[in-house]
Amino acid sequence: MDIALPLLIVRLVIGLGFASHGAQKLFGWFGGYGLAGTGGFFESLGFKPGKLFAGAAGAGELLGGLLLALGLGGPIGSMLIISVMVVAILAVHLSHGFFASGNGIEMPLLYAAVGFTFAFVGFGAYSLDAVLGWNAVWTPALDWLFVGLGIVGGLLNMAARRKPAAQPAA
């Protein structure tokens, strides 16, 4: 069986879904809060200035998702996806357990796992990397480098986070 079509379907679903989260943050599309609203949320999490961190997260989601959907840039999109999801898992979802129904880590972990997988599996024949002849460029060493940079980038974002102020008792 040719795996190119299943890879394309997963890339489109995950990549466009992920990119839409970036569009929510950056432009307020698809019911999102835009940069101002998302920036306020990021500030409440201790990421200051909130608009800067929201813009970086939104850009990472938009670009990472589009690169994945298009099958372009090998592990670069995966790096962006992993970086943003490391922050989401650690800053927002980890304290809520596993399941998405309780705002747990399930969804961001799935996005990160798909990003990780495509970094090593590649995009298949129905991708811009294949059309441009770039598949051979992405070696296992580069795959690991970009995955590692994604993890480190997420952890550096967490290190830049300031502890959120305690909320006064009501």
pLDDT in tens, 124-150: 999 999 999 999 999 999 999 999 999
Answer for the pair 21, 65: CB distance below 8 angstroms, yes or no: yes
Please give the pLDDT value at position 163: 77
Q: What is the mean pLDDT of residues 13-30?
A: 97
Q: Which pLDDT score is estimated for 1?
A: 66
b (16+ CB within 10 A) / e for 88-122: bbbbebeeeeeeeeeebbbbbbebbebbbebbeeb
